[in-house]
Amino acid sequence: MRRAVVSRLGRMTANEIILGDVTVTRVKEYHGSVEMSPAEFFPESAASAWDEHRSWLAPHFWDPEADECVSAIQTWVLRSGGRTILVDTGVGNHKDRPYAPVWNRLDTDFLDNLAAAGIRPEDVDIVINTHLHIDHVGWNTYLDGRTWFPRSRTRPT
């Protein structure tokens, strides 16, 4: 894995950065269209703002040809002092989300991606949710209400 030096902050790969004694790893669940236009996804935003900022919005955050927003759903894994902490847990698989068709009954490789980052669900000590939207809490529980991370304590911020 190639590493690049990032000023004085630490070492970094495309999905990992080391800051002092904390390793931060990005684990993707989904990246692609949210199947909503900017007006639907961000109803308070002015249409002119999207065109004004096209140079950096397209194609990573907005597909102007389809007029759809693009999003990355991901978990941040923090490892330090023998602890493993997840920040947000994505959308989750097999959950009924009829109000968000792109995430309805999702079936991703998230647990495999987590394993590829060296994390098993039982390794997680703490889950932190930055807020309680569906794209941040999905892997907190199984469909039957049990947690995916049996040793963890969940902390909404």
CATH number of the domain within which 29 lies: 3.60.15.10
Domain membership of residue 63 (yes or no) is no
pLDDT at position 66 over 90 = yes
What's the CA gap between 100 and 73, in Å, rounded? 14
Number of H helices, E strands in the chain: 5, 9
Domain membership of residue 56 (yes or no) is no
What's the CA gap between 49 and 60, in Å, rounded? 16
Q: Could you report the per-residue pLDDT of 110-153, keeping only the tens digit for each?
A: 999 999 999 999 999 999 999 999 899 899 887 666 777 777 77
Strands (DSSP E) along 4-152, which ranges? 4-6, 10-12, 16-19, 22-33, 62-63, 68-80, 83-87, 126-129
pLDDT at position 81 over 60 = yes
Domain membership of residue 142 (yes or no) is yes
Query: pTM (2 decimals)?
Result: 0.79
Domain membership of residue 64 (yes or no) is no
Range of the domain at 146: 4-33+72-156
How many domains is the chain partitioned into structurally?
1
Token pair listed for 140: 């907190």
3-state DSSP assignment of residue 104: coil
Domain membership of residue 145 (yes or no) is yes
Question: Considering only CA atoms, which of 14, 34, 33 is closest in space to residue 25?
Answer: 14
pLDDT at position 2 over 70 = no
Domain membership of residue 45 (yes or no) is no
What's the CA gap between 75 and 1, in Å, rounded? 20
Place of tokens 């759809």: 68
Domain membership of residue 28 (yes or no) is yes
Domain membership of residue 150 (yes or no) is yes
Residue 57, Cα to own-chain centre: how many angstroms?
18
